[in-house]
């Protein structure tokens, strides 16, 4: 690793050369660092805008799920079966599904060895349960903050190995070669430096592992941590392609304390009610849309492990009808919505808990969990006391006050395109974790944590075997990078001298309102088209709308710039899907479909046209990129799960001759 100070356009820029720059400090990034270091590559560096500030260390649910191959019991499972279940979630490449399934046990056991307390019984059996979109009981959990435990275990190991960490360093630009075929480095801002002429850091890197998560800042109602902003726009600007950007995931979450209200929070059957803007005129609005007490309480219960909004679970008084009713109550009727653990669901004036009238599945689950107490709060304490305590630790007593909720952006199933080694089509760039768009429409809950660990390990293996090279000499690097670096510094100077402030919330508010209005669970054909025009217009003038008076505000300007481009590319991906006659599926409803067919069912003014998969439709993925100042979208066919030749002698020969890695 080489360090120096170089002069560029009046700026004193810190120069660092390194084999692999790892951007972000979430669980995927840290696993990549450990994997590289364990394999002997010590010339690595982790740059992060805030140590522990991302989703991994700040998100969770009732018992946050980690999805893996089944490792106990009599139910049969196999790598092929898991790969098929991932692949059957639609719009997921089969070879990626196979890699995630094959690598799940190794990734899981590595976390166990690092000390993440996944539970097992006295025989060493890693017990599992069913999660959303999971046909088997592959899910496990270490508690409400599983990913936080992963972060702490991985970060402890990174620090123990003394891997170089640059905290408070926000990477603002990826540098590419002249042909924009591969990344060659990056530019960052050291947010601790007050003098803008000394705050920039230039990385000469052979490889970049990008683990900055999803673009959580884009949505008005979001359960992403406030600190989780993402950097997808930066990757688009550099030339990386996105895929499945139209496939995000939404679900009910509390607003005051951002947390997913899934699992046990729903299985204890809390009461839902709405009020006017002033907290008056309380109404249990679900009751008007369900035929009886048994059906209503079952839908609430099923919301636990059918937590993400799913159009296929609306009809027949399904669990996702609740999400839709919450959305209508909030967005159309402009009322506030709450979940109440103090009192039971009332029905025709009776608000007592009636176990004898529950659906058999619901009653048996609560009975087996020893959770038939009088109130939802008491049942939650019995069933999952850590989930109850979590809110207490964040200043909310669920037994004393209701929690205000929204239908929140929770996960981006799309992201940047990557191959089976998690390398982008922009070579030497490896998006890992949520920023990698490996997921399709219906991902099993917790599969993102597995994907992040498997993908980052595979990226490290590819780097070790193919890109384990010294960084080029400074003169060679600057010959390719200097023009782009100068552009970054010039833009920073412009913002700093503009007299405007990045802290003005109007621009980000505009982006969030547009995404929540057109890119959430309701997607109106005409509104999406208009939103694309507005986003395009905003991006054309975004540089002139923002400005800075400090180093931190320059960094904020780049965040806004990235977010503006990201929301443009996402909206155009959504529009492309609709224009290609895409229908309601996954976590969103398409409105304004001009096909003259009868809706599957109606509620309010929503005619729900469900996506019926034919062979052609299920093999299509929307890809999107930013090229020559334009957003271009295209269709990519899904790759099938490959047929493997696992004859041992052939695998052995290919492995020892290093013939098994293409690229």
156-197 confidence digits (pLDDT tens): 999 999 999 999 999 999 999 999 999 999 999 999 999 999
Q: Distance between CA 200 and CA 208 in Å, rounded?
A: 18
Triad 141, 64, 400: Cα angle to 5°? 120
pLDDT exceeds 80 at position 380: yes
Residues with Cβ within 8 Å of residue 48, at least 6 apart in sequence: 23, 24, 25, 29, 165, 166, 167, 169
Arithmetic mean of pLDDT over the chain: 93
pLDDT exceeds 70 at position 610: no
pLDDT exceeds 90 at position 370: yes
What pLDDT, in 10s, does the model give residues 293-310?
Answer: 999 999 999 999 899 999
Per cent of the chain over pLDDT 70 is: 95
Mean pLDDT of 244-250: 95
Closest-CA residue to 319 (of 293, 290, 284): 290
Q: Look at the block and give the residue holding tokens 């507005």.
A: 534
Confidence of residue 591 (pLDDT cuts 50, 70, 90): confident
How does DSSP classify residue 329? Answer: I
Closest-CA residue to 305 (of 56, 65, 585, 587): 65
Q: Distance between CA 300 and CA 313 in Å, rounded?
A: 12
pLDDT exceeds 60 at position 614: no
What pLDDT, in 10s, does the model give residues 207-226?
Answer: 999 999 999 889 999 999 88
Confidence of residue 349 (pLDDT cuts 50, 70, 90): confident
The answer to whether 103 and 83 have CB atoms below 8 angstroms apart is: no
Tokens of 196: 């803008």
Q: Look at the block and give the residue holding tokens 């109106």.
A: 524
Confidence of residue 3 (pLDDT cuts 50, 70, 90): confident
Strands 259-260 and 248-254: antiparallel
pLDDT exceeds 60 at position 639: yes
Q: Distance between CA 312 and CA 309 in Å, rounded?
A: 9
Q: Look at the block and give the residue holding tokens 């269709």.
A: 635
**pLDDT value for 597:** 55
What pLDDT, in 10s, does the model give residues 489-546?
Answer: 999 999 999 888 766 689 999 999 999 999 999 999 999 999 999 999 999 999 999 9
Closest-CA residue to 207 (of 185, 189, 176): 185
Q: Is 339 helix (H, G, I), strand (E, B) or coil?
A: strand
Q: Distance between CA 533 and CA 576 in Å, rounded?
A: 13
Q: Distance between CA 620 and CA 637 in Å, rounded?
A: 5
Per cent of the chain over pLDDT 90 is: 86
Q: Distance between CA 276 and CA 548 in Å, rounded?
A: 39
Supply φ then ψ for residue 220, to 5 degrees. -70, -50
Q: How many helices (H) and strands (E) does the chain have?
A: 18, 23
pLDDT exceeds 90 at position 607: no
The answer to whether 28 and 455 have CB atoms below 8 angstroms apart is: yes
Q: Look at the block and give the residue holding tokens 């109606």.
A: 602
Supply φ then ψ for residue 164, to 5 degrees. -65, 130
**pLDDT value for 421:** 98
Q: Distance between CA 462 and CA 41 in Å, rounded?
A: 12
Mean pLDDT of 95-119: 98
Q: Report residue 390 CA to chain centroid gap.
A: 22
Q: Report residue 248 CA to chain centroid gap.
A: 8
Length of the chain: 663
Confidence of residue 228 (pLDDT cuts 50, 70, 90): confident
**pLDDT value for 663:** 47
pLDDT exceeds 60 at position 336: yes
Helix axes 27-38, 447-466, angle to 10 degrees: 30
Mean pLDDT of 258-276: 96
The rounded radius of gyration (Å) of the Cα atoms in the chain is 25
The answer to whether 317 and 291 have CB atoms below 8 angstroms apart is: yes
Residue 536 vs residues 41, 412, 572: alpha-carbon distances, Å? 43, 22, 9
What is the set of domains in the chain, with CATH numbers?
250-410 (3.90.700)
Q: Where are the beta strands (DSSP E) in 324-402?
A: 336-340
**pLDDT value for 616:** 55
Q: Look at the block and give the residue holding tokens 């190995």.
A: 161
How does DSSP classify residue 219? Answer: -
What pLDDT, in 10s, does the model give residues 389-443?
Answer: 999 999 999 999 999 999 999 999 999 999 999 999 999 999 999 999 999 899 9
Q: Distance between CA 222 and CA 219 in Å, rounded?
A: 6
């Amino acid at each position: 690793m080489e360090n120096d100070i170089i002069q560029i356009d009046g700026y004193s820029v810190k120069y660092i050369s390194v084999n692999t720059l790892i951007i972000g400090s979430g669980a995927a990034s840290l696993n990549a660092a450990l994997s590289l270091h364990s394999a002997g590559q010590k010339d690595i560096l982790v740059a992060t805008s805030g140590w522990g500030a991302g989703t991994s260390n700040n998100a969770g649910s009732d018992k946050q799920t980690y999805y893996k191959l089944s490792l106990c019991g009599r139910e049969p499972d196999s790598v092929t079966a898991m790969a098929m279940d991932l692949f059957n979630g639609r719009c997921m490449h089969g070879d990626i599904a196979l890699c995630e399934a094959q690598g799940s046990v190794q990734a899981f056991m590595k976390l166990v060895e690092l000390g993440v307390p996944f539970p097992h019984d006295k025989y060493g059996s890693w017990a599992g349960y069913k999660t959303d979109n999971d046909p088997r009981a592959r899910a496990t959990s270490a508690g409400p903050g599983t990913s936080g435990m992963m972060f702490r275990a991985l970060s402890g190991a990174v620090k123990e190995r003394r891997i170089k960490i640059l905290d408070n360093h926000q990477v603002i630009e990826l540098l590419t070669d002249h042909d924009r075929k591969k990344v060659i480095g990056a530019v960052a801002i050291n947010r601790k430096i007050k003098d803008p002429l000394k705050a920039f850091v230039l990385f000469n890197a052979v490889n970049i592992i990008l683990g900055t998560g999803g673009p959580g800042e884009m949505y008005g109602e979001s359960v992403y941590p406030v600190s989780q902003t993402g950097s997808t726009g930066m990757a688009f600007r550099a030339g990386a392609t996105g895929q499945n950007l139209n496939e995000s995931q939404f679900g009910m979450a509390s607003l005051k304390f951002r947390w997913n209200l899934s699992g046990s929070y729903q299985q204890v059957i809390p009461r839902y009610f709405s009020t006017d803007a002033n907290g008056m005129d309380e109404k249990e609005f679900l009751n008007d849309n369900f035929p009886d007490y048994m059906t209503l309480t079952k839908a609430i219960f099923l919301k636990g492990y059918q937590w993400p909004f799913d159009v296929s679970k609306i009809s027949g008084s399904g669990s996702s009808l609740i999400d839709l009713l919450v959305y209508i109550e909030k967005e159309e009727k402009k009322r506030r919505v709450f979940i109440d653990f103090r009192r039971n669901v009332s029905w025709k004036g009776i608000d007592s808990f009636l176990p004898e009238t529950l659906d058999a599945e619901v009653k048996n689950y609560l009975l087996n969990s020893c959770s038939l107490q009088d109130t939802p709060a008491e049942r939650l304490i019995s069933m999952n006391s850590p989930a109850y305590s979590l809110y207490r630790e964040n200043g909310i007593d669920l037994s004393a006050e209701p929690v205000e909720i929204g239908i929140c952006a929770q996960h981006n199933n799309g992201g940047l395109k990557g191959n089976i080694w998690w390398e982008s089509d922009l070579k030497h760039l490896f998006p890992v974790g949520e920023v990698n768009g490996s997921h399709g429409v219906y991902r099993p809950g917790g599969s993102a944590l597995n994907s992040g660990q498997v993908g980052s390990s595979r990226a490290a293996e590819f780097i070790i075997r193919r890109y384990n090279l010294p960084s080029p000499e400074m003169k060679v690097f600057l010959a390719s990078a200097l023009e782009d670096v100068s552009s970054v510094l010039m833009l920073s100077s412009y913002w700093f001298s503009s007299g405007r402030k990045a802290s003005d919330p109007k621009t980000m508010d505009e982006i969030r309102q547009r995404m929540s209005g057109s890119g959430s669970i309701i997607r109106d054909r005409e509104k999406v088209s208009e939103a694309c025009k507005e986003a395009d217009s905003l991006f054309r003038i975004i540089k002139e709308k923002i400005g800075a008076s400090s180093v931190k505000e320059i960094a904020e300007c780049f965040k806004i710039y990235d977010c503006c481009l990201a929301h443009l590319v996402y909206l155009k991906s959504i529009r492309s899907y609709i224009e290609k006659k895409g229908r309601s599926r996954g976590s969103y409803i398409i409105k304004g479909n001009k096909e003259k067919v009868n809706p599957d069912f109606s509620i309010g003014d929503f005619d729900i046209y469900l996506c019926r998969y034919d062979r052609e439709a299920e093999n299509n993925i929307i890809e999107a990129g930013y090229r020559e100042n334009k957003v271009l979208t295209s269709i990519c066919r899904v790759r099938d799960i490959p047929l493997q030749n696992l004859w041992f002698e052939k695998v052995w020969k290919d492995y020892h001759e290093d013939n098994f890695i293409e690229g």
